[in-house]
Amino acid sequence: MATSAFPPFRVLLSRDQILRRIHELARAITEAMRGEPPCLVVVIEGARTFARQLQKVLPGQLPLHEVRASSYGSGTVSSGEVRLTLGQDVPCAGRDVVLLEDIVDTGRTIAALQRHFAQKGARSCRVATLLSKPSRRVVDVALDFVGFEIPDEFVLGCGMDLDGRYREIPDVVVYEKSVEMAFQRAAAAR
């Protein structure tokens, strides 16, 4: 019997559901831009998959610019300070930026990026995110295009990872340590 490469985590959103929703988001973004091509900025690494899927269905094969934002803090606790480590040279002055994010959690990353692009002279800075966890919000950010609102659970797949693992899972799944450990035990016994 073929064995799966990934633990059988619970599927929250299937690949088909995600792709259908991405088509809807592309239509909404196109309408909002009224013919003016936006400057698409991908928050890497996690949003790469979402961004590529969106790029395929948006008209005009728009280039994807990349930014990397990191939170600094002690241990697992974020200080709330977000530092931009890539993306200083995105050609955004006078343009309508659309930030492409995998998931908005506290909202700190998106708020920091919006401040950054406003300072760099962007005409506007909208946000398109595949997922949003509204119950986790600390900073009040306006999200223009939201794929799905989800509960406060740690999710993986569709580009989202845990220490670099599970990005390739095509669905959005809910991480559970016990499921992962059972899978690892079974793999070790084979």
Which residues belong to the active site?
105
Pairing, β 172-174 against β 10-13: antiparallel
Binding mask 57-96 for ligand IMP (x = CB under 6 A): ----------------------------------------
Minimum CB separation of residue 145 from ligand IMP in Å reads: 16
Secondary element (H or E) of residue 184: helix 177-189
- Give every CB contact of residue 120 below 8 A, 6+ residues apart in sequence: 90, 92, 93
Of 37, 48, 66, 106, the one binding ligand IMP (CB under 6 A) is: 106
Count residues near ligand IMP (CB under 6 A). Answer: 14
Q: Are 13 and 176 in contact (CB under 8 A)?
A: no
Where are the extended beta strands (E) located within the chain? 10-13, 39-44, 64-74, 77-86, 96-104, 124-132, 145-149, 155-156, 172-174
- Piece in contact with ligand IMP (CB under 6 A), picked from 5-13, 16-24, 92-100, 107-115: 107-115
Burial class (CB in 10 A: 0-12, 13-18, 19+), 34: exposed
Cβ nearer to ligand IMP, comparing 38 with 107: 107
Check binding of 114 to ligand IMP (CB under 6 A). no
Of 40, 58, 95, 108, the one binding ligand IMP (CB under 6 A) is: 108
Cβ nearer to ligand IMP, comparing 55 with 129: 129
Of 44, 104, 127, 128, the one binding ligand IMP (CB under 6 A) is: 104
Check binding of 171 to ligand IMP (CB under 6 A). no
| Cα 54 to Cα 42, 58, 96, 113, distances in angstroms | 11, 6, 17, 20
- Piece in contact with ligand IMP (CB under 6 A), picked from 11-19, 54-62, 99-107, 182-190: 99-107
Residues of the shown chain interacting with ligand IMP in the complex, contacts defined by CB under 6 A? 43, 46, 101-109, 154-155, 160
